[in-house]
Amino acid sequence: MLSESQKESINEAIGFLREGRFPDAELLLMELIKENPSDGAVNSYLAWSRHLLDRDSDAIEPARRGVLLAPKSEKASTILFHVLMALGKAHEALLEMWRFLGRDSRGEYFQLLSDLMGVEEHADSKEKTAMDVSSD
C-alpha cells in the first residue's frame, strides 16, 4: 500500500507523462519501484513511461508485473496491450484483452477481432499471456 507521499509522487509522475516529460516520469517511477516493487500501478506507469520513450523492450517486464499485481485494473491491462502491440505481439495483446474482458479466446468474437486486426492464430503457438508469466 502506498503512503500519502508515495501517492503524491505517482500523481506527480502521471503529471509528467501528461506534460510529455517522459524521462522525468520514468526516474520518479523507478524510485517508487524501489520502495514498492509489488504495487501494480507503479509498475504499470513505469511501463507506460518506457513505452512513450519508445523503449518497449524495457517496458514489457513492468507491464506484465502490473497486470499480475493488479489483474482487475483496466489501465494495467491496456498498458500491457499497447506495449505488446508495439513489440509486434498482436496475438498476445489480443489474449490479454480477452483475459481482461473475461472471454473465451476461441470464440467467434475473438476471431472477428483477430480478422479485423490481421492476426492469425496458430494452433502450435507457444506465446504466453501476462497471467502465464511469473514475476521475477
Q: What CATH number does the domain containing 19 carry? A: 1.25.40.10
Give yes or no: residues 31 and 47 share one domain. Answer: yes
Helices (H), 53-118: 56-69, 74-86, 90-101, 108-117
Cβ atoms of 64 and 133 closer than 8 Å: yes
Is 99 found in the same domain as 79?
A: no
**pLDDT in the model for residue 105:** 61
Q: Note if the pTM is more than 0.75.
A: yes
Residues of the chain with pLDDT under 50: 122-136
In the numeric block, which cell numbers belong to residue 90?
A: 498482436
Split into its structural domains, the chain has a count of 2
What does the pLDDT look like over 27-53, one tens digit per residue?
999 999 999 999 999 999 999 999 999
What pLDDT score was predicted for residue 136?
Answer: 32
Residues 66 and 98 in one domain: no
Q: Smallest Cα–Cα separation from 51: which of 68, 29, 69?
A: 29
Q: Note down the domain range covering 119.
A: 90-124
> Looking at the structure, do residues 30 and 2 belong to the same domain, yes or no?
yes
